[in-house]
Amino acid sequence: MTKINPNNGTTLVPFDFEGATVRVLDIDGEPWFVAKDVATVLGYSNPQKAVRDHCKGPRPVGGNESFLPLDRPVGVNESFTLDRQTVIIPERDVYRLIMRSNLPSAERFEELVVGDILPTIRKTGSYGIPRIDVRDPSQLSQIAIQLIEVNKELTVRAERAEQQVEAAKPKTQFYDKYANADGLYNLQNAARVLCQGPNKFVGWLKQGYLFYQGTALVPKVKYREMGVFEVKATVVDDKARYQTFVTPKGIQYLAKKLGVDRLPLEEAA
């Protein structure tokens, strides 16, 4: 059991991440992070549950055995102190929480940890981390264990991303079947995607979305600005001819208006 010894230079260092404070503590030369701080900046709605579900080494800062006096919190000043029940996690558990976070900012937080917090600590010696001795088998074995754990997490993350790509393939293939080179759908193909008869669909669009400008059927300004439609011009016999297309965003928008709950993706198989 790692102990907190107030006589061995224990230090609490606050780091800023996009306006939030993440506190890092030295215990016997190893960085430990305040679990709630990490889980909160990574967007977990229930930090305690996130730590319980995903972390393997959480512990109260006081531990079961501690040299920390009952009347003495750990901290650098009164603004950044920890009581004995504050839960802290080791570096490897920080990576576990990062891997499972759904926030885009998780990658930025990982960069802060890897590119700023740990290098700063090791450069300044704030945590008293000893220099790695490649001749020391115990140090190398610990590094190897951590690398294996991180590699496992990265493998899980890569497999999850691959599964998401595979799941999206039928949808992508179906849309590509009817879209032109610009990713747009003429009115007839948009009707097929939306499970509508082409003539009935165009007639429905004329009721509120499209109108004739000369001989061309064009969208109302509102829906064009919303990105539901795009108009392309071609020149034939020195005359410009306009054709209206539905955008991918428009497909989703019109599906909701038509009450189409599920697009026929099975046709892509």
- Taking residues 65-88, what's their average pLDDT? 52
CA–CA gap between residue 257 and residue 99 (Å, rounded): 38
Which sequence spans correspond to the domains of the chain?
12-129, 176-268
Share of the chain above pLDDT 70, in %: 69
Q: What is the pLDDT of residue 228?
A: 93
Confidence of residue 78 (pLDDT cuts 50, 70, 90): very low
Which has more confidence, 93 or 124? 93
Q: What are phi and psi of 185, to 5 degrees?
A: -125, 125
- C-alpha closest to that of 66 among 1, 17, 158, 136: 1
Please write the tens of the pLDDT for every residue from 164-200.
666 555 544 544 555 566 788 999 999 988 889 999 9
Indicate if the pLDDT at residue 26 is higher than 60: yes
Indicate if the pLDDT at residue 66 is higher than 50: no
CA–CA gap between residue 89 and residue 34 (Å, rounded): 6
CA–CA gap between residue 21 and residue 124 (Å, rounded): 20
The widest CA-to-CA distance across the chain, in whole angstroms, is 91
Please write the tens of the pLDDT for every residue from 130-166.
455 556 676 677 777 778 888 888 888 887 877 766 6
- Taking residues 97-117, what's their average pLDDT? 86
Average pLDDT of the chain is 76
- Taking residues 220-244, what's their average pLDDT? 86
Contact indicator for 105, 20 with CB cutoff of 8 Å: no
Burial of 251 (0-12, 13-18, 19+ CB in 10 A): buried
CA–CA gap between residue 269 and residue 86 (Å, rounded): 53
> The dihedral of CA 121, 124, 129, 133: what is its sign?
positive
- Taking residues 21-50, what's their average pLDDT? 87
Indicate if the pLDDT at residue 16 is higher than 70: yes
